[in-house]
Structure 1
């Protein structure tokens, strides 16, 4: 029994030992599995950190780098972690542009335990390039003792973001001082704005709303467009979209405060991805002041300042419309040319004030004799024209209307003109013309009506005459003149004369070369007689070549004499020849041949230059401008309405038309017009030359108004080259315009 008990005890011990061994084995296997799993998790974490796009680091408390992932290594310009750790010794001193930045961050970490998105400027450690970063980090402490162990955190580069923010701040500062406003808004296909994405601060001043109101989002520009301009506004968008061109449109708005303004919008469109609208980027400017000035000058340029009637330019426009209307409706029109009898006698004996009062009274009487829709215009002096529209296709009916209206006018004008004790028996000679839509030009119709008027005047005055076709036999003179002109060109009998141009100190600064033709039999023939013939016959190109050739040779001659070297010379160039002929190439060849300074040559062109291909004309002007040749806008003031169309053409100066200078010493309207022209010229940085200055009073007014250059009979007529050179030598020294007048030549 005892032996069996001992055996049982031993057996139980063996069993327990085996069980213990089994348990220990199982536990060891579990620990190994956990260890391997932990190692795998650690490797995964390390791999994750290594492949992050942000830099991850661990650093010691004294500023040494302990570890860094691949992103941080690349950010600092190194190829490996080992290389970077070997090179970085003191993060605060070597890494931050401002070494104190490290201490600031450490203070925050000790206080709060962590920092997030701290922005700092640092060096890319290896290359010393300065960059911007955003950094988040924490202070790691011992879990049991709380003792600080190390820092760890993440870094990402934000250099591009900082640069963009700086640019945006600079952009805001710049745009806050713009006179206009930049914008970006979206539209749908109908041109209606649907969302405003950006406007600069100047926008709020233009449309007169506060920035708070603007932030409400309900400030779409299209809501402010003037009702009369909304159709054109939408049409501008449509044309820009269909043509793929830049939007450049002027329109009115009515601000929330009730003020009307003129705006100019220039914008480029970027099509939306869905193709149903677009985003427009552009600029808005307030052009109200310029528009008011333009309208004022347009009124002065299109209406006679004395009588308030349309002037010649307005008449030509209206007459052109009437011709087209007759063509469309196949009806007749009537033109009456009214010339006052004995007006010169009244004006000379009673004075200009009485003469002007009489002209105003005549204008009133003429308007009372016609229908409201008929045109009454003053052509200048004592000449008036009237255009009557009819609904008749019969010439006889139109002729009867012309005679009836003419009789009514003659009866009205026979009533004596009274002013104070003055009683003037007035009358007029009237030329009448019936025309249709086949008429050529207003000027041609005027010529025929003028012929009829002279027939009436030749019959004894106070009479009417209806134009007859056979009266055109006088055109034979025209063909004779053309033949003689061809001969003159062939023989070289056309030549330049030189009218001095003076500066503010009465020094000769140059001359205008004026073409003159002295025929051995017909005598002196004025340019206004033969230049139109040359343009009609095609000889104008030859005349322009002749003028430019003489001008360039004259400049070459002047350059050899110290008393004339440096003087400028301006010559007129036909718009027709400049736009269509080989004049540019010819002039360039002349300049190269004679070796003149191109900056001393000025080409004068009238505003009719805009009637042709503006792009081609601008290109031709640009070729000569590149050499230094200057351009002047001639006869400025008579056609200001086209000034907006001259935008982009490189003019250097403008010449005030002589018709505005003639009465400038006594006409407030002409004075206002000239002041406005000079103000605009100053704004556009253009020099100004006043033509046809004939009196000291005219000169003094122009001087006080700020004019730069002067020419006219007050100084000298157009003279020969030798006479001009002598005049230039005698008037080359500086002197004041308020001092004694220069030595002058008379015609």
Structure 2
């Protein structure tokens, strides 16, 4: 450069002044006439550096403002979508600009269908009254309606309370309208039902309503006349004032309430007591009333007098010992017969057996087809049992879909007793498996059965029930539709499981869980983030792996509080990483239990955690196992879309090991799939694994999905996967799962090594 400068003579004054005029605008000062070329060059360079500094300061300010705006926008979006009112925004031509989640759900429409489209083109049959209201609002009016009935796209109706007001742009001009609406359909239905109930209460049949604790809230005049109590005397009292303890013992009432709580209703003959002490028989019908959360909040009782007390007493005694739905013996009669059979077995030396039977997935039948169909199936099951058993045997219904069979006089040795039990089981299973046609629909039933024999070491009949119950549990956990026979090893495992369950409850209360992080690395060698892995650290510092406690946590429901704790912990970690430039862009992936994901409020709970912690949703990936997708795929898609709208990403974990349907993969709005490590471990030696991996990668590429491969331990595995198009790697090649302090040290070393390269 110096040689170049020396080759230029001093500029002549005229030329120099022209250049000076231009540079003075940058330098903001006059230049000396005698300035050399290199002085000018130095001044130009100084001016450039000054301008460049100002540019960088401006860019940094813009970046900070952009991040603040993104965070504020995310929080605003969370607030709007969780607001109790639906919100929609239109321009002056009634084109949709925005619609909140509540607005869309209330109207059973999708954001994809409406945003950017015209209200009148979407709904050409929009009534003129609505068009007139829109015009008034666009002219500056605010319009509201406390009760408005609308017709939804599927033809159903909804009641709304709404307010419509104009919004103004930066120039103060009306830019369109905003509508706030609240769905009051449930309230209107409740009001209608209350009106109907009020009319029904004028009935001649005695009626009363209680709360969930049996306190009388309302009674009609007919009930007052039947009992001798005035309506005022009844209200606020317990229904126990009507009981006749001489005719019904506590077991009767316990059975009655078990039926009400499990089946939602009960009816039959019962003896009641009037205010004057007189006892009289009635035919009583009790129905449970549930609220919007499906919890019982009221009971409705209706009864009528029975003229023949002897018939009433006969029926009451029948109800005390028999199940009213199936006419099988109930628990009370079964226990009495078991007591006698147990004593007989001890005296005679002949074995007996208890078969505890549960219908597989019976709850699904009730949920899908209704309790009426469920009741018909229970009646059919009872018929099968009567057909399969000898006259000396007993089949009883304990409640719900739980049945017990008592077998007696099976033989003097366990071998012959076992053969006799097998004959009964084969016949019973054959009858149960035959198609049951209820209301024109064919149902195929299977059952899980637990078996124990007596007499044995336990002389207590309650212990025999417990043994059969343990065997039944084993049958269920082994895959259902099978028979399990009790043994001492099974008992020991059961005791161990009970102990584990108790310890797990204590662990939840005492926060004994920690999160370990395993690195995930992109194909270009840059650290993408980590997978969060749950560990249980017991008080003695033993680190318990997830496979040892997750199944139990899912079984007893503890996985839900554990899962929310884990989500809160990783969101707090994301916020902590935001303070360090090295970890600013790191993502965290976390596996979500199917049970937790199916919770009705899962989406809202996660949004609440994100809002309270301030975590960036775009840095969080939820990993779902394929089992999540087997139940109500439409609802799964709805939840994923709701959370993706705020930036949360979704991945299918252990892809290829489960259901792996191309149908759901095509429909689901996913971001990523994870190749299970079982395909990676032996891929260098197994052509089949390599073919499967190529197929998964090709499929992911065609669906524009990222792919993470788990279980990478060798460079050769990574190289093969990278060559085939895999985008992210996870495994011992990069690091084992570690606690957060160790992982942060790993990040520092990894970043230093990357910078060195």
Common fold: TM-score over 0.5: no
Q: TM-score, normalised by structure 2?
A: 0.37
More relative contact order, 1 or 2 (CA 8 Å, 6+ apart): 1
